[in-house]
Amino acid sequence: MTIAFFGSVHCQRMTANITITILHDSRFSNTNSRVLMPEGLSQDAQRLLRHRKSGALATHCVVNPGFSFVSAAPYAIIDNGNCVFLFSALSSHSKNLRANDQASLLVTGSDGDLSEARLTLQGHVRPVEDDQSNEAKKNYLEAHPAAAQWASFGDFSMMELSPVACYFVGGFGKMGWIKPEHWKA
């Protein structure tokens, strides 16, 4: 199997055309044709997710069907490795999730520096199960103490992102899909 990238790299005032070809390499697990996972990618992605506390959540927009709606989404991690959010039922992203629970969370290692790590989690965002609600709220408020002032409002509830796919970019040449069975933050 050969994967090739053809493109331009811009560095300060120089532009160079490059070609990267990856031949079959034993460092990659290729049991599923859409998943190529370099060793250590899952651990690096999990480290990024635990280090950051907020991401950009993309939901399916109910006001403008066919478009994504992206909002800032502070999160915390619970014992099963999933992200939890504290959302108001009045928010646009909550309304979107009620119509379609599929969403993507983008977490970046910096503010726009493409040489830094970034992670996209794709999955279903649903209310936290009752037996995990206290843990989820505790973890969330530890990560975001200022949220305590509205966490008890009746329209706020804990929501959990259960990933079905993860894509991580750890820098130039270090990227790939992480198999769901290898994902646990």
CA–CA separation, 127 and 132 (whole Å): 10
pLDDT value, residue 142: 96
Confidence of residue 113 (pLDDT cuts 50, 70, 90): confident
Confidence of residue 22 (pLDDT cuts 50, 70, 90): very low
pLDDT value, residue 111: 74
Q: Could you report the per-residue pLDDT of 116-150, keeping only the tens digit for each?
A: 899 999 999 999 988 888 999 999 999 999 999 99
**Could you tell me which residues are beta bridge partners of residue 102?**
124
Can you list the domains of the chain with their CATH numbers?
29-182 (2.30.110.10)
The encoded tokens of residue 44 equal 């690096």
Q: Could you report the per-residue pLDDT of 40-53, keeping only the tens digit for each?
A: 889 999 999 999 99
The percentage of residues in the chain with a pLDDT greater than 90, rounded to a whole number, is 59
pLDDT value, residue 184: 67
pLDDT at 35 over 90: no
Confidence of residue 38 (pLDDT cuts 50, 70, 90): low
CA–CA separation, 176 and 106 (whole Å): 15
SS3 166: strand
pLDDT value, residue 39: 62
Nearest of 108, 117, 127, 35 to residue 70 by alpha carbon: 108
CA–CA separation, 76 and 56 (whole Å): 14
CA–CA separation, 78 and 29 (whole Å): 28
